[in-house]
Structure 1
Amino acid sequence: MTVYGVTGGSGALGRLAVRELLARGVVAHEVVALARTPSKAADLSALGVQVRAADYGDLRAQTAALAGVDRLLLVSSSEAGRRVAHHANVIEAAEKTGVSRIVYTSMLNVDGSTNPLAGEHRDTEAILRAAAVPFVTLRNGWYTENYTDQLGSYLERGEIVGAAGTGAISAATRQDYAEAAVVILSQDSDSARAYELGGPAFALAELAQVVHEVTGTPVAYRDLPTGEYVAALQSAGMGEDTARFVAALDTSIAHGDLQTDSQDLAHVLGRPPTSLADAVQDAYAGAAENDRLAPSSSRPAESSVARAALRSFGDL
Structure 2
Amino acid sequence: MLIGLNQYLRMAQHDERLARCAGRRCDDIPWVLLRRLAHRRRQKGFYDAFTLMLFRRAWQRSRRASCLLDYLAYCRDLGRPLPLARRAELSDALPALHGRRFYLAQGLLAESGGDPPTQWGEVLREVCRCQQTWRSQFAAHVAQCRDQGICVVGNAPVMRGSRLGSFIDGQGLVMRFNRFYYDPSSAVDSGKKHDVWVRSPSLDRAPPAAVRWVVVSGPDVIFRLRNWGALADIVEQGVPVLTVPLEVWRALVKKLMAPPSAGLLSLAWLRQLLGSWQGVSAVGFSLGDSNCPVPRATRHHWAQEQALLRRWQADGLNLVSDAAKETEHG
TM-score range normalised by the length of the shorter chain? under 0.3
The structure with the greater share of residues assigned to helix is 2
Normalized against structure 1, the TM-score is what?
A: 0.27
Normalized against structure 2, the TM-score is what?
A: 0.27
**Higher relative contact order by CA 8 Å / sep ≥ 6: 1 or 2?**
1
Q: Decide which structure has the larger Cα Rg and report it.
A: 2
